[in-house]
Chains A and B, each alone.
Chain A
Amino acid sequence: MATLVNILIAGLATGAIYALVAIGFTLLWQTSQTINFAQGEFVMLPAFFMLAAANMGLPFWAAVLIGFNVTMLLLGWGFKRLLVDPMLRHGVLPLAIATMALSVFMREAVKEFFTAEAQPFPSIVPATNIDILGAVVSLQNVGALGVAVAAVLALQYLLTRTSVGHQMQATAQNPTVARILGVPVDRMILYTFLINAGLVALASLLITPIYLAKFSSGEVLGQAAFIAAIVGGFNQVRGAIAGGLLLGVVDNLAATYVSTQYRAAIPLFLLIAIILFRPQGLFGRAEERTV
């Protein structure tokens, strides 16, 4: 029982971080048909922005603040203006390929400036344990889960309860009509890129103490989040949340009770099953071609 509780909480904590990254996938897809194959590297990089700031002698909280701002600027605004806007005119496929190239560039750049070795990264939650249902559970895992869930709830509130959120939804559903109704579509799209940047920076802050800061750590995360987004439903934020949590839990349960050797295959089996039996994802909306 104690093992199960531990595994469930660890799985939910990792899954919640996957969910943050997967939400970014779905937001960008909905508002600007961008599939960002560099999303994993978008999670890897903010940790290095924070480390760079900390290496300049700043306290960790200030380094985190700077890391978030630089991420919003470069991976939010900069990504949209310098890569997505020019490439999207040529179609979704060239843009997807450009994001693949961007992921390689980001990995190599980090290797160049920070070496290929892993770096330690402090945790915002102390490394102590608490008792839940008789099981000794890591406060770091509970903290990561709590922060991720709070971020998701705040995002849901923004999207469903505020005027900006409604305008963003309108932009996602039909940008032409939204524009006619006076919604500043371009600004709403920019907001989604900034939100994505905020989410990846948060994911980076939560996952890097566990994974360590390393140029290659985005590969696993990007793949997991992409699978989570498809499993949950690429066109629904709630789908990405469910997909992320499900993937985190299934991965940990499979590694504990089935096989550690084949754990990497389990998410892929899940992905195949979803594609075969429910291609729109668990919570996704079936989309039909307009032509």
Chain B
Amino acid sequence: MKAWKIAGAVALAASLGGVAFAQTGGPIKIANVGELSGGGATVGTNFKNGADLAVAEINAKGGILGRTIEITHADTQSNPGVARAQVQKALDGNPYVLLGPGFSGSVKVTASLAQQAGIAQIMGGEAAELTQTGNPYLFRTSFGQQSTMPKVARYIAEDVKAKNVAVIWVNNDFGKGGRDTITKEFAKRGVKVVADISTEAGQADFAADVAKAKAANPDALFVYLNEEESARILKELRRQNVQVPLIGETTLTGQKVIELAGDAANGARGHVGLTTDAPVPALQQFRERFSKKYNYVPDHNGIKGYLAVYVVKAVTEKMGKVDPKEFAKTLHGMTITPDKEPGILMETTYDQNGDIDRQSFMTEVVDGKQVVKAVLPKLGS
């Protein structure tokens, strides 16, 4: 009787093994955890749509190494606590790679989970500290603040020739990281911060903040907020007739900001790592495909989501196998070029920290459109 039980157990194990084997040969599972609602809905929705577009394109061409991609989406509600729970849930499903979240605060609390699981996390966060913790599984889709802020500070000091600057920032990990980094860069270049104004995520009324900045009489304003708040403050800056140059980063001149702020966005300048307005044919073609599918023009988060999936494709094809453990090692130090992987849009190099190096752009909003004023080369070129 005992022998029969053992034989039965062996047969069951064999059949389960067969199922497991069938799964490894099935679709490649990618889990995306992003800000689909709450304050970061613009970020997460764009990222999701970009990723979905890439998945659809890759699957239409036969997938990766002959296997299709299956992507799932979970909503962090723009809340780091929810993000942690959603990432844990996503990791429990044994994905090949984890995408997102987009908010630095949410990345900060979830990175250790992906690291423990040994799963590569390709995220949208830009806070400088994220890739400085020695986590070998964390990768960016855009520049970190340590790469962008020196460029922005140099532009404000040398091109705008501002001596006194007011800094308005959002009091979360993203905003604080940016504020701390640019303040150091300003100090190096002899630019004085005459007003240091923190605002809250989701803040609706910026009348007092703008009045404070205006009263400090700066030569330029550095605005570092999330998209919706950027739109609100641009409208308030217009209402209070602030005439000094408004300079920020990607989140000040994004498509969604322009749509929300309307005319008030005109004149705002921003350093942008990724923009569909860039004079790069591959980016413009992406913009057309995205707009056709979703009926709106993507912002940089849409490009981030798209690129993240093509990074997965490039790495997997380089390895020649679907190996989650080997993925992170392969991506460190890897350069992906558009001639080998057109979906990567621009030549991209990952360093040993998971930071990214590629071209970037200085933009200005002119007549409701983001116009690229200068192309800045890769740091390593």
Contacts and interface: CB of A to CB of B under 8 A. Distances in A.
Contacts of B59: none
A51 B102 CA distance: 29
A92 to B, nearest CB: 30
Given A117-B256, A127-B239, A260 B208 contact: yes
A7 B211 contact: yes
Interface string A192-213: 0000000000000000011110
Interface size range on A against B? 35 or more
A256 B215 CA distance: 10
Given A6-B240, A118-B260, A120-B260, A14 B171 contact: no
A106 interface: no
A111 B78 CA distance: 14
Interface string B205-221: 10111011011000000
A6 B241 CA distance: 11
Nearest to B75: A116
B42 interface: yes
A261 B260 contact: no
B239 A138 contact: yes
Contact of A211 (B232, B261, B263): B232
Given A7-B211, A210-B205, A261-B198, A117 B45 contact: yes
B307 to A, nearest CB: 22
Given A7-B211, A116-B37, A260-B208, A127 B202 contact: no
B238 interface: yes
A180 B296 CA distance: 62
A2 B70 CA distance: 59
Contacts of B200: 264
Interface centre among A7, A14, A214, A255 (most CB of B within 10 A): A255
A71 interface: no
A117 B208 contact: no
Contacts of B264: 127
Contact of A255 (B209, B228, B235): B209
B41 interface: yes
Nearest to B231: A212
A256 B208 contact: yes
A140 interface: yes
B118 interface: no
Contact of A261 (B171, B211, B212): B171
B62 interface: no
Contacts of A261: 171, 198
Interface SS, B side: helix
B207 A252 contact: yes
B171 A115 contact: no
B359 interface: no
B197 interface: yes
Interface string B16-55: 0000000000000000000011100110010000000000
B379 to A, nearest CB: 33
B262 interface: yes
A285 B218 CA distance: 49
Given A116-B36, A263-B208, A129 B241 contact: yes
B260 A252 contact: no
Contacts of B231: 118, 120, 212
Contacts of A103: none
Contact of A116 (B41, B198, B211, B238): B41
Nearest to B37: A116
Contact of A3 (B41, B42, B211): B211
B239 A129 contact: yes
B208 A115 contact: no
A3 B241 CA distance: 12
Interface in A89-122: 111, 115-120
Contact of B199 (A119, A209, A212, A260): A260
A10 interface: yes
A136 B238 CA distance: 11
8 contacts: A6-B211, A14-B207, A120-B259, A212-B231, A212-B232, A251-B208, A256-B211, A261-B171
The 4 closest A-B pairs by CB, nearest first: A255-B208, A10-B207, A138-B239, A116-B41
Interface of A: 3, 6-7, 10-11, 14, 111, 115-120, 127, 129, 136, 138, 140-141, 209-212, 214, 216-217, 220, 251-256, 260-261, 263-264
Interface of B: 36-38, 41-42, 45, 171, 197-200, 202, 204-205, 207-209, 211-212, 214-215, 228, 231-232, 235-236, 238-241, 256, 259-264
